Amino acid sequence: MAGTLKRLAVLGSTGSIGRQTLEVVRALPGRFKVVGLAGGSNTALLKKQAEEFSPQFVYYRDKKANTAFEDYQFLPMEEMAAHPDVDTVVIATPGGFGLEPTLAAVRAGKDIALANKESLVSAGHIIMTEAKANGARIMPVDSEHSAIWQCMEGEKTPPARIILTASGGPFRGYTTAQLAGVTAAQALEHPSWRMGKKVTIDSATLMNKGLEVIEAHWLFNIPFENISVLIHPQSVIHSIVEFIDGSVKAQLGCPDMRLPIQYALTYPERLLNTQLPRLDWDTISHLDFERPDMDSFPCLKLAIEAGRRGGTLPEVLCAADEVAVELFLSNRIKFNDIAKLVQQVLEQHENVFIAKPTIKDINTADAWARDRAMRLVLGDEPC
């Protein structure tokens, strides 16, 4: 039996997706061996996870934590992602921390369960090229991209169009004026999904959906003009694919990230997991749809436009958004300022824009954008 265990490295194991990944591993005994865990600042949880799963490798950001992990081999995330003892790398690290491990994993030809969307958003052209060259498989963990992937499974003809659904977040239907006064606490109350803070705020601004459009463009090789966004408040239909004959497929399910996580881990098989909730059609009387309001939620427009133009702009978008969301969460800017700040940084980036960036260019653009965003808010002195 041990020989058939799929060996996992879970990067970002203490975050929301990382923890749910380990829930799936627990629910499917005899299927997986966790050989690597990489956490961020939550050393206590990482230690608990290491005690439960006894990984070979551990990565922790806080160097002072080394006494807690004396029994494990410390390995940087990039090395863990490429290690020969790892079959599938789950990349659930937040934001910019995903790029280097993703690159290492694609270069090592790994199976990659990719929950970090920023790496594809900022370096999709490099990652997809390297994945193809090295035989790496990128399996999306985002519910929307998993939906599209599931709908494309077995199809011989590429999709004509994809439609990403969006719940609309807690402020669906709000006007710009109404959005002016919303608080971080309100923004963190997502109506349907259990997610980390950053992505929950990005869902409230629709920035998250914009990043997903860019991600879908790279994952499925679909031109931006054939990707659209549809607001669907119930989050039952996770996304929609239209084929050239007019046939349309949708993937549906309860809003529970463990389902796309499990599908990526067990693909192409599906396994019974009694812990996963089932859609109950007795309780679904209607599913609603509406067009996104790009005026009240300009982040969606900004992201799609940055994706369409490409180059360093998507990285600048991500970096500026990360700063903006942090500032919003710490009550230093207002909700509507998130889009304004991102837009300003994007506009100021025109002078240093690079159309075909290397990873170094992307990292430079990232640092530039973070610095720029901070200066714009806190004044021209470095913080």
Query: Per CB under 8 A, does 155 bind its own copies?
Result: yes
Q: Copy the structure tokens of residue 6.
A: 């799929």
Q: Which of 63, 64, 278, 360 binds its own copies (CB under 8 A)?
A: 278
Q: Which of 30, 225, 281, 380 binds its own copies (CB under 8 A)?
A: 281
Q: Give how many residues touch its own copies by CB under 8 A.
A: 50
Burial of 308 (0-12, 13-18, 19+ CB in 10 A): middle
Task: Name the DSSP class of 61.
Answer: S
Query: Per CB under 8 A, does 297 bind its own copies?
Result: no
Query: Per CB under 8 A, does 44 bind its own copies?
Result: no
Distance of CA 234 to the CA centre of its chain: 20
C-alpha distances in angstroms, 236 versus 55, 156, 182, 240, 287?
36, 26, 26, 11, 8
Query: Per CB under 8 A, does 29 bind its own copies?
Result: no
Judged by CB under 8 A, the stretch of 185-193, 280-288, 295-303, 313-321 that binds its own copies is 280-288
Beta bridge partners of 7: 33
Cβ nearer to its own copies, comparing 70 with 245: 245
What letter represents residue 322's amino acid? E
Residue 228 CA to residue 121 CA, distance in Å, equals 16
| Parallel, antiparallel or unpaired: strands 161-166 and 227-231 | parallel
Residue 64 CA to residue 294 CA, distance in Å, equals 46
Query: Per CB under 8 A, does 240 bind its own copies?
Result: yes
Whether 200 and 190 have beta carbons less than 8 Å apart is answered as yes
Burial of 177 (0-12, 13-18, 19+ CB in 10 A): exposed
Query: Per CB under 8 A, does 176 bind its own copies?
Result: no
Query: Closest distance between its own copies and the C-beta of residue 363, in Å?
Result: 37
Cβ nearer to its own copies, comparing 273 with 364: 273
256-275 residues in contact with its own copies (CB under 8 A) are 256, 259, 262-263, 266, 268-273
Query: Closest distance between its own copies and the C-beta of residue 24, in Å?
Result: 10
Residues binding its own copies (CB under 8 A):
150-151, 153-157, 163, 228, 230, 237, 240, 242-254, 256, 259, 262-263, 266, 268-273, 276-279, 281-282, 284-291
